[in-house]
Structures are given as structure tokens and as C-alpha cells.
């Protein structure tokens, strides 16, 4: 096997800013790499996860013009953890606004992992003429079975029973039948202490399921106050509303992707977004290249997953 590829060396954005997108929301964005290079937009996970400096390093800075931004309510975007006018379709329109007003390009590559894969598919199916390629990781289609896998007993709880017990601990037994709703009441309530307790429990459960091996650093990041509140409130908001997608919508809409080159990088042992969704998408979109990583979990930073992603971006760099 060839040596696995890893992140490009650190580099800084050449432009940053805030973009008003309406509804009281202002998005943090940054452009990095080559201003004359191949345009790409990076869509982070969550919803509510925010971007990090290492995200831009998945692209060759000599060849790509890289737009990274924080979606509504998270990261450096404002207002923090806001649920108002925060839906999948608001975010899809935000991507178009960023393309026109910030990147100033006609078409671009779309790259997204986890929730970012959901958003990438929704954007590409609404604006296929704007997408040159798709690179996706950890496919999440927002079908009911995927939400149940994470938030009902019998799914990921079987793999992480210890983490599950911590997740349900803040919720009385009589509310365990609908944990998304139970958490929603606490995350949107006025009691700050209750909200923070719920946010940290929700976000820690995510940190448990996304790592192939235990990662104290990942747990620390997800349970920091600001990150936990944004991730938990926004993610729960989306889960409670089915992502504003009809059941199976991203699969039956896959016909709109015909002609768009695509690569999916999927960890075999991904317990957050199991491989079944990537397999279903491959069957609905036969042209896409599906790479299942034998020693991969969910996170982009795992060696096999990262190798697959960078091989894809290098191939499409032109």
C-alpha cells in the first residue's frame, strides 16, 4: 500500500469576513489557498459543529481556492446557538449567497462530511448546475432510521452502553421514549443550568459515537460550554424536525446528481453514521465511487479516512 496521505502543512486564509444573510444571521467565512485556483466549498458537520483551521488543510493550497464558513448559529457566526430561521434550506441558500458574493465563481466543488454530507447532497440536488464534483464522508441521509439509531435504545446504544447511560441520565425514565423531544424541552428552556447540563450530555454522546478509539481531546472539545450549547441546540433542532427533508428525499433525488463526478469515503466502523446509508446512496447514484475504509470510523482525521479524502481532493485538483 502507498503511504497514507495526511493534511497539508498549515496555511492561513488570505481573506476573512462576515456576511449578512438575513433573518438576523451573520456568517463567518474565510478564503484560503490560491485565489486563481479550483473553487471548493467546505461544509462542516453537526449541525452546529463549526469549522476549524485543519479543515482547509484537506486541500492543496497551491491548486484550490478554498471557502470555509461557519453555518448559522455556530462557530464565529452570530447570533450564537440561534434556532431562528435555521433550517436545511436556509443553509442551502446561504451556500448560494456565499458562492455569488464571496467566492464570486460560477461553479465549484462541494465537500462535506457527516451532516456536511447531508447539506452537500441537498445543495447539489437543488443546484446541480453549480456543482463540479462532490466529495462526501460519513453519509447521513436524515432518514428516520438514522435518527433512531442515535437517539433510541437499540442502535448505537448497543455499541456504547456506558456512553448511552450517561446520555440518558439527565432525563427521567418516563421521558425515555422520545429523547429528542425530552432534550428539546431542556435545551430551549429558560433555565441556563438545566440547558448546559443537557447540552453537555447531548454533545458528549456525539463525541463518544464519532471516535473509533477513546479520545479525551474530542470529548473535551464537544463538552466545552459554547461548543456544547451550539451543537446540542442546533443538532437537536434539526433532529426534531427531520432535517426539513421528506423520508428518502436525498435518495430519490440522487438522479439529479447524474453527470457530477463524486467520491464517498466511509468508515467501515462508523458508529455515528453507519455504512448502510452510504451503500444505499451508491445504489441510487451508481456513478459515485464508494470507498469503504476497513479501519475507519467517523472522523475525517482518522488515518484511513483522511487518506481517502485527500486522494479525492488531489485527483479533482486538476
Give the residue from 315, 312, 310 showing the smallest Cα distance to 56: 310
Beta-bridge mates of residue 267: 293
Asked whether 36 and 65 are in contact (CB, 8 A), the reply is yes
Pairwise CA distance, residues 292 & 175, whole Å: 37
Q: How many C-beta atoms lie closer than 10 Å to residue 295's C-beta? A: 12
270 is a catalytic site residue: yes
DSSP 8-state assignment for residue 243: G
Tell me the residue length of the chain: 318
- Non-local (6+) Cβ contacts of 122 within 8 A are 88, 89, 92, 245, 250
**Which candidate in 94, 143, 270, 307 is catalytic?**
270
CA distances for 23 relative to 27, 69, 82, 254, angstroms? 12, 18, 11, 30
Which of 25, 44, 237, 298 is labelled catalytic? Answer: 298
Q: Quick check: 111 and 56 in contact, CB under 8 A?
A: no
Catalytic one of 77, 114, 120, 157 = 114
* Contact by Cβ (8 Å): 167, 205: yes
Give the H/E segment covering residue 42. strand 38-43
Question: Rounded CA gap, 278 and 264, in Å?
Answer: 7
Report, as residue numbers or ranges, the catalytic residues: 114, 270, 298
Amino acid at each position: 500500500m502507498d503511504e497514507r496521505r495526511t493534511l497539508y502543512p498549515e496555511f492561513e486564509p488570505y481573506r476573512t469576513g462576515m456576511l449578512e444573510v438575513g433573518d438576523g444571521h451573520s456568517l463567518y467565512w474565510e478564503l484560503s489557498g490560491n485565489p486563481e485556483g479550483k473553487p471548493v466549498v467546505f461544509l462542516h458537520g453537526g449541525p452546529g459543529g463549526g469549522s476549524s483551521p485543519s479543515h482547509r488543510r484537506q486541500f492543496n493550497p497551491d491548486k484550490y481556492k478554498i471557502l470555509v464558513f461557519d453555518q448559522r448559529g455556530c462557530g464565529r457566526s452570530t447570533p450564537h446557538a440561534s434556532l431562528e430561521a435555521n433550517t436545511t434550506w436556509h443553509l442551502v441558500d446561504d451556500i448560494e449567497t456565499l458562492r455569488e458574493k464571496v467566492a464570486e465563481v460560477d461553479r465549484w466543488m462541494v465537500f462535506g462530511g457527516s451532516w456536511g454530507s447531508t447539506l452537500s447532497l441537498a445543495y447539489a440536488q437543488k443546484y446541480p448546475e453549480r456543482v463540479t464534483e462532490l466529495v462526501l464522508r460519513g453519509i447521513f441521509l436524515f432518514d428516520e432510521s438514522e435518527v433512531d439509531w442515535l437517539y433510541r435504545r437499540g442502535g448505537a446504544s448497543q455499541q456504547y452502553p456506558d456512553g448511552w447511560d450517561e446520555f440518558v441520565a439527565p432525563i427521567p425514565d418516563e421521558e425515555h421514549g422520545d429523547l429528542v423531544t425530552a432534550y428539546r424541552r431542556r435545551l430551549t428552556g429558560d433555565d441556563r443550568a438545566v440547558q448546559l447540563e443537557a447540552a453537555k450530555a447531548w454533545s458528549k454522546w456525539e463525541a463518544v459515537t464519532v471516535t473509533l478509539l477513546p479520545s479525551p481531546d474530542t470529548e473535551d472539545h464537544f463538552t466545552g460550554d459554547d461548543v456544547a450549547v451550539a451543537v446540542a441546540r442546533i443538532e437537536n433542532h434539526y433532529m426534531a424536525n427531520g432535517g426539513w427533508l421528506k423520508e428518502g428525499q436525498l435518495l430519490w433525488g440522487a438522479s439529479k446528481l447524474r453527470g457530477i463526478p463524486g467520491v464517498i469515503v466511509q468508515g467501515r466502523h462508523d458508529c455515528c453514521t453507519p455504512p448502510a446509508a452510504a451503500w444505499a446512496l451508491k445504489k441510487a447514484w451508481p456513478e459515485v465511487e464508494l470507498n469503504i475504509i476497513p479501519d475507519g470510523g467517523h472522523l475525517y482525521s482518522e488515518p484511513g479516512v483522511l487518506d481517502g479524502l485527500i486522494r479525492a481532493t488531489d485527483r479533482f485538483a486538476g
